Amino acid sequence: MNNPIDVIASLGVVPVIAIEKASDAVPLADALLEGGLPVAEITFRTEAAADVLAAIRDARPELVIGAGTILDRDSLRRAIDSGARFALAPGYDPDIVDAATEADLPFCPGIMTPTDLTLATARGVRLAKFFPAGVAGGPKALSGIAAPFAHLGVRFIPTGGVTQATIGDWLAVRQVVAVGGTWIAKTEDIREGRFKAIAQNAAEAVKTARQALDARA
> pLDDT tens digit string along 139-181?
999 999 999 999 999 999 999 999 999 999 999 999 999 999 9
Helices and strands, counts by H and E, the chain: 10, 9
| Fold classification of 4-216 (topology level) | TIM Barrel (3.20.20)
| 1 has pLDDT over 70 | no
In total, the chain counts a number of residues equal to 217
Greater model confidence, 102 or 2:
102
| 2 has pLDDT over 90 | no
CB 40, CB 32: distance < 8 Å: yes
Enclosing H/E stretch for 208: helix 195-216
Residue extents of the structural domains in the chain: 4-216
- Cite the active site residues: 41, 129
Class of residue 159 by CB neighbours under 10 A (exposed 0-12, middle 13-18, buried 19+) = buried
For residues 200-211, give the mean pLDDT.
98
Three-state SS for 179?
strand
pLDDT at position 197:
98
This prediction's pTM: 0.97
CB 53, CB 19: distance < 8 Å: no
Res. 217 pLDDT band, cuts 50 70 90: confident
Other residues' Cβ atoms within 10 Å of the Cβ of residue 171:
25
